Amino acid sequence: MGATRCFNIHGDLAILRLPADYPTERVTSKVKSAVVLARDLQITKLLVIAPSLTAALSAAEQGWSNKDWISAAADDLRIVLVGRRELIGPSMRGVHCFPSEEEAIVWLQVRGL
């Protein structure tokens, strides 16, 4: 699936919407690509909707994805994930998690850059 097929822009908000059957092991690399694309386009907010994340990322995956996403995002991009809060471990600092898309968007509108 190409980045543009699941990546949409609405003003200063980019949305990465992965299908429910998207392989969990590929989510982290897809998010990194979305982070890079959002920064290239000078987008300040990224909403990640990844329903295939039904199991917690391992500590190694959390550490890798956090370092990767945060280093790619720098200080000018807010990253929000829609999913169960328990899927985000303590090593995922800087990535905010909300149970619904609506709550995530409200937080981005209020707390975003």
Per-residue model confidence (pLDDT) at position 111: 78
Per-residue model confidence (pLDDT) at position 60: 46
pLDDT in tens, 4-25: 578 999 998 999 998 878 777 7
CB 73 within 8 A of CB 39: yes
Identify the sign of the CA torsion 36, 70, 97, 113. Answer: negative
Question: 25-29, 53-57, 97-101 — which one is most confidently predicted on average?
Answer: 97-101
Per-residue model confidence (pLDDT) at position 1: 44
- Domain 3-111 CATH superfamily: STAS domain (3.30.750.24)
Residue 14, strand partner residues: 9, 46
Domain ranges for the chain, please list them: 3-111
Helix (H) or strand (E) segment spanning residue 73: helix 59-73
Tell me the pLDDT of the chain averaged across its residues: 75
Residue 70's pLDDT band (cuts 50, 70, 90)? low
SS3 at position 85? helix
